[in-house]
Protein backbone atom coordinates (compact mmCIF):
# COMPACT_ATOMS: atom_id res chain seq x y z
CA UNK A 1 0.00 0.00 0.00
CA UNK A 2 1.19 3.51 -0.77
CA UNK A 3 -0.33 6.79 0.39
CA UNK A 4 0.51 10.48 0.13
CA UNK A 5 2.10 12.18 3.11
CA UNK A 6 -0.29 13.70 5.65
CA UNK A 7 -3.06 11.34 4.52
CA UNK A 8 -4.96 9.04 6.85
CA UNK A 9 -4.65 5.28 6.47
CA UNK A 10 -7.02 2.49 7.50
CA UNK A 11 -6.13 -1.14 8.07
CA UNK A 12 -8.44 -4.09 8.52
CA UNK A 13 -6.89 -6.73 10.76
CA UNK A 14 -8.17 -10.29 11.10
CA UNK A 15 -6.46 -11.96 14.07
CA UNK A 16 -5.92 -15.69 13.82
CA UNK A 17 -5.12 -18.38 16.34
CA UNK A 18 -2.21 -20.85 16.19
CA UNK A 19 -4.07 -22.90 13.55
CA UNK A 20 -4.65 -19.87 11.30
CA UNK A 21 -8.37 -19.68 12.07
CA UNK A 22 -9.99 -16.26 12.64
CA UNK A 23 -10.69 -15.71 16.32
CA UNK A 24 -11.85 -12.81 18.48
CA UNK A 25 -8.89 -12.00 20.73
CA UNK A 26 -9.00 -11.20 24.43
CA UNK A 27 -6.67 -8.19 24.02
CA UNK A 28 -5.39 -6.19 21.06
CA UNK A 29 -2.86 -3.38 20.78
CA UNK A 30 -0.91 -1.71 18.00
CA UNK A 31 1.98 0.69 17.41
CA UNK A 32 3.37 2.61 14.43
CA UNK A 33 7.05 3.14 13.67
CA UNK A 34 9.22 4.64 10.95
CA UNK A 35 11.15 1.69 9.52
CA UNK A 36 14.39 3.41 8.44
CA UNK A 37 14.98 5.52 11.51
CA UNK A 38 13.24 3.31 14.07
CA UNK A 39 11.27 6.33 15.27
CA UNK A 40 8.19 5.49 17.30
CA UNK A 41 5.27 7.44 15.84
CA UNK A 42 2.38 5.95 17.82
CA UNK A 43 3.18 4.19 21.10
CA UNK A 44 1.46 0.92 22.01
CA UNK A 45 -2.27 1.66 21.93
CA UNK A 46 -4.93 -0.72 23.24
CA UNK A 47 -8.10 -1.30 21.27
CA UNK A 48 -11.17 -3.24 22.29
CA UNK A 49 -11.51 -6.37 20.19
CA UNK A 50 -15.16 -6.93 19.33
CA UNK A 51 -14.95 -9.47 16.52
CA UNK A 52 -12.56 -11.39 14.30
CA UNK A 53 -12.17 -8.30 12.10
CA UNK A 54 -10.97 -4.96 13.45
CA UNK A 55 -10.26 -1.62 11.82
CA UNK A 56 -7.25 0.48 12.82
CA UNK A 57 -7.20 4.08 11.65
CA UNK A 58 -3.88 5.92 11.41
CA UNK A 59 -4.42 9.70 11.54
CA UNK A 60 -2.99 11.92 8.82
CA UNK A 61 -0.60 13.61 11.26
CA UNK A 62 1.07 10.25 11.92
CA UNK A 63 1.90 10.00 8.22
CA UNK A 64 4.05 13.10 8.12
CA UNK A 65 7.44 12.71 6.45
CA UNK A 66 10.27 12.56 8.98
CA UNK A 67 13.26 12.71 6.60
CA UNK A 68 12.37 15.22 3.88
CA UNK A 69 15.38 14.11 1.80
CA UNK A 70 13.63 10.80 1.06
CA UNK A 71 11.10 10.32 -1.75
CA UNK A 72 9.23 7.70 0.31
CA UNK A 73 9.22 6.51 3.89
CA UNK A 74 8.15 3.08 5.05
CA UNK A 75 5.91 2.96 8.11
CA UNK A 76 5.41 -0.26 10.08
CA UNK A 77 2.14 -0.98 11.86
CA UNK A 78 2.62 -3.76 14.42
CA UNK A 79 -0.50 -5.46 15.78
CA UNK A 80 -0.39 -7.77 18.78
CA UNK A 81 -3.34 -9.88 19.88
CA UNK A 82 -3.67 -12.49 22.60
CA UNK A 83 -6.21 -15.06 23.58
CA UNK A 84 -5.64 -15.17 27.32
CA UNK A 85 -3.61 -18.27 28.12
CA UNK A 86 -4.35 -19.82 24.71
CA UNK A 87 -1.58 -17.99 22.81
CA UNK A 88 -0.81 -14.80 20.97
CA UNK A 89 -0.44 -13.48 17.43
CA UNK A 90 1.78 -10.64 16.20
CA UNK A 91 1.78 -9.24 12.68
CA UNK A 92 3.33 -6.32 10.82
CA UNK A 93 1.89 -4.25 8.00
CA UNK A 94 4.31 -2.09 6.03
CA UNK A 95 3.23 0.79 3.83
CA UNK A 96 4.93 3.58 1.95
CA UNK A 97 4.28 7.27 2.47
CA UNK A 98 5.09 9.40 -0.60
CA UNK A 99 6.94 12.64 0.09
CA UNK A 100 5.01 15.34 -1.78
CA UNK A 101 7.18 18.20 -2.93
CA UNK A 102 5.06 21.09 -1.68
CA UNK A 103 3.42 19.61 1.43
CA UNK A 104 6.17 19.51 4.09
Angle at 44 between CA 81 and CA 61, to 5 degrees: 120
Greater confidence (99 vs 24) lies with 99
Ranges assigned E (strand) in 1-104: 2-4, 9-13, 27-34, 40-47, 54-58, 72-82, 88-98
Could you tell me the CA-to-CA distances from 32 to 5, 23, 35 in Å, in that order? 15, 23, 9
What is the three-class DSSP state of 64?
coil
Q: How confident is the model at residue 97 (pLDDT cuts 50, 70, 90)?
A: very high
pLDDT for 23-42, tens place per residue?
A: 888 889 999 999 999 999 99
With cut-offs at 50, 70 and 90, classify the pLDDT of residue 4.
very high
Amino acid sequence: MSINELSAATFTVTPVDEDGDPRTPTNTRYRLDDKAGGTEIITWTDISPTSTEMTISIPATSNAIIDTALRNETKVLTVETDYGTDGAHVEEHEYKVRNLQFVS
